[in-house]
Structure 1
Amino acid sequence: MTKQKFSFTHYDLKQQRAGVTVEITLSAVANVRLMTPNNFQLYTETLKHQFVGGVARKSPIRLTIPQSGHWHLVVDMEGHHGHCESSIRIVEPATRPRFQSAS
């Protein structure tokens, strides 16, 4: 028995630093998965894979890159009905303020 293929929206986030946040805006309840390239490949082959995320019931949601490297983000409707529009925005972590000495 072959596994059923399903459609998904893919965002290649390229290289990202640990701590960067990805903000995902959705038009409906959907699955959101943040994955390494190896896990993304397993996902596309409908094999067991690991990811950060899960079912997003509200929008927007935020996921934080757990470690520096290449990342992929997928939005799919597996287990849900209908269609979901999505968009993403990369949010850089806030830097610490630099204090200057008064003269």
Structure 2
Amino acid sequence: MPKPNFRFTHYDLHEQRAGTVIEVTLNAVNNVRLMTAPNYQRFTEVLDFKYIGGVAKKSPIRVVLPESGHWHLIVDMEGHHGLAESAVKVIAAPAGQKHAS
């Protein structure tokens, strides 16, 4: 099975609620891609996949999860000089937020 031909760091964020903030700290410009579990599977198989994010030129960056579910975050060096050192922090969704039922 083919794999992406660039180095990346994978963070499995597990099940998270919509509105949860993901804070990513980087020591260099890299791509930050937040994706659902099915899209992560497609990423690993080098198929077309959808993601939230893109080139992170500043640090830290914050991304808000648009929906509840199992999320994955990738920091990758595609198009850049090398793989950045990275850290990810999950910040709980604000209390009292309306939830779709």
TM-score bracket for the superposition, by shorter chain length: 0.7 to 0.9
Q: Which runs of 4+ in 1 moved over 4 A?
A: none
Which moves more between the two structures, 21-30 or 3-12?
Answer: 3-12
1:39 positional shift: 0.5
SS in 1 for 2:38: helix
Distance in structure 1 (CA, Å) of the matches to 2:4 and 2:22: 29
Equivalent in the alignment of 2:9: 9
1:24 is the counterpart of 2:18 = no
CA–CA separation in structure 1 for the residues paired with 2:63 and 2:16: 13
Q: Provide closer, same or farther for how the CA distance between residues 66 and 47 of structure 1 changes in structure 2, counting only shifts above 3 A.
A: same
Instruction: Look up the match of 1:100.
Output: none
Q: What is the TM-score of this pair, normalised by structure 2?
A: 0.88
Higher Rg: 1
Are 2:85 and 1:85 equivalent residues in the alignment? yes
Aligned residue for 1:88, secondary structure, equals: strand
CA shift for structure 1 position 4: 6.0
- Aligned equivalents of 1:82 and 1:37: distance in 2? 25
Aligned residues: 95
Counterpart of 1:40 in structure 2 is 40
CA RMSD of superposed structures (Å): 1.6
Instruction: Give the TM-score normalised by the residue count of structure 1.
Output: 0.86
Identity fraction in percent: 57
